Amino acid sequence: MARGVTAAQGFRAAGVPAGISAKPGKLDLALVVNDGPRFAAAGVLTRNKVKAAPVLWTEQVLTAGRLRAVVLNSGGANACTGPEGFQATHSTAERVAELLGCGAVEVAVCSTGLIGEQLPLPNVLSGVDKAAGELAATADGGSAVATAIMTTDTVSKQDAVTDPAGWTVGGTTKGAGMIAPSMATMLSVITTDAVLEQPALDAALHEAVRLSFDRLDIDGSMSTNDTVLLLSSGASGVEADPAEFTTALTRVCQDLAARMQADAEGVTKRITVRVTGAASEDDAVVVARTIARDSLVKTAIFGSDPNWGRIAAAAGYADAAVEPETLDVTINGVLLCRGAVVAGDRAAADLSGKDVLVEVGLGLGDGTAEIRTTDLSHAYVEENSAYSS
C-alpha cells in the first residue's frame, strides 16, 4: 500500500531528473496532481520575513483555498532571486496549468536548496513536461515525489493513515537541517480523499502542524522556503468527522516530523525534551525549546555526558515562569536535580544509547510540551560548513 501523496484516492504524482540539482541524474522535480472531484486545499508557510519566490506565489494562490496541483523542486531555493526568480515560479505554475488544463492560480510551487541562485528555467519547464507525462496514482508515483524533494536528507520520508470509515490521509516531507519553529527548510505535501470543507481542512492543518513540525527544532534556524500543503480530493466519497480527521492528520505529521528528527544533519542522538508543570502550555514550549536549542546542552549529549547543570541553566534563562525551588531535571529516567539542587549521581544516567529523554518539571501548573531535537555533533559542523561551496 502506498504511504505518501498517492496513498489517498484521486491523486497522481511523478518525480523526475530535470537537471536542476548539481548531482547528475538526481530526481529533482516533482508534480502532485489532484484529480478531484473536490479541490479544497490549505497551507502553512514560513513566517520568515525574507520569503522565497515560490512562498510568495503559494501564499497568493492559497487565498482561494483551492489547488489542482503542486510542483516542487530541489536543487535551488529560488530565494533572494528578485523579479527574475518570481517570474520563474510564475512560468513554472503556468506550464503546469497548461498541461493540466487549469488556471495557474490553482498550482502551488515549492522549492528547496541554496539561497540566492536563479533556477535553470528551461530545465525546470522541460522537467514539468516530463513529470506530467509520467504521472501515476501508484506507490511509485508517490515515492518518486518523496525522493525528488530530498536535499541533504539521506532517506525519503512518507507516511499514511487510513480511517476505518474509509478515507485516507498520507504525505511526504523533506528537511534535515535549518529546522526550527515554523518548520524551517522543510517542504511537505499531504493529501487526503476525505470529504471536508476548506475551513475544516485549514483548521486541521494548523492544529496538526502546531503539534508536530512546530515541535521539532534542530538548530533554531527558520528558512525562507518552509511550506506544508494539504490537498483534498474527496475521492473516497466519505465525509470525515473534523476531530477524527485532525487526529489522523496530526499522527501523519508527527510521524513525518519524527522521520525528519531521525535523519537530521549530523545526528547521533535523538533528544526529546519534555517539560511538565509549566504555568501554561506556551511556557512549556518556550522552556523546552530553549533547552533544545542550547548549544552546551546539545554538545554535552553528543558527548553522552548527563550534564544536567546546563539543562537547569537553560531553563533558568528561558523567557517563561521558572522557579528554582520547584525545578527538577531527570535524564533517561534518573532524577539528577530537585528544586535546582543536585539530587543524584550523574553517572547513574546512561546516555550511551541513541535516544535521550530530558524531563524538566517546573512545579508551577499544568502546562506540558515536548520538543524533539538532536545533538550538536562533529558531523553537523562538517555538513553545514561545506554545504554551498
The site map against its own copies for 48-67 (x = CB under 8 A) is xxxx----------------
Size of the site for its own copies (CB under 8 A): 71
Q: Is 133 in the site for its own copies (CB under 8 A)?
A: no
Closer residue to its own copies in complex, CB, 195/264: 264
Q: Phi/psi class of residue 183: alpha, beta or left (left: φ > 0; alpha: ψ in -120 to 50)?
A: left
Closer residue to its own copies in complex, CB, 155/342: 342
CA distance 67 to 41: 6
Q: Helices 53-62 and 82-100, interaxial angle, to 10°?
A: 50
Beta strands in the chain (DSSP E): 11-16, 29-34, 41-45, 69-73, 107-111, 157-162, 168-174, 187-192, 227-232, 270-278, 328-331, 334-338, 341-342, 355-361, 367-374
Chain residues 163-222 in contact with its own copies, contact rule CB under 8 A = 177-178, 180, 182, 184, 219-222
99-133 burial by CB neighbour count: b if 16+ within 10 A, else e? bbebebbbbbbbbbbebebebbbebbbbbbeebbe
Closer residue to its own copies in complex, CB, 12/215: 215
CB of 160 to its own copies, least distance (A): 31
Q: Is 1 in the site for its own copies (CB under 8 A)?
A: no
User: Out of 22, 64, 243, 381, which residue is the one contacting its own copies (CB under 8 A)?
Assistant: 381
Catalytic site residues?
185
CA distance 311 to 300: 10
151 is in an annotated binding site: yes
Chain residues 12-51 in contact with its own copies, contact rule CB under 8 A = 47-51
CB of 47 to its own copies, least distance (A): 7
Contact assessment for residue 3 and residue 159, using Cβ atoms and an 8 Å cutoff: yes
Q: Is 122 in the site for its own copies (CB under 8 A)?
A: no
CB of 295 to its own copies, least distance (A): 4
389 is in an annotated binding site: yes
CB of 294 to its own copies, least distance (A): 5
Residue numbers belonging to the annotated binding site for substrate: 151, 174, 185, 265, 384, 389
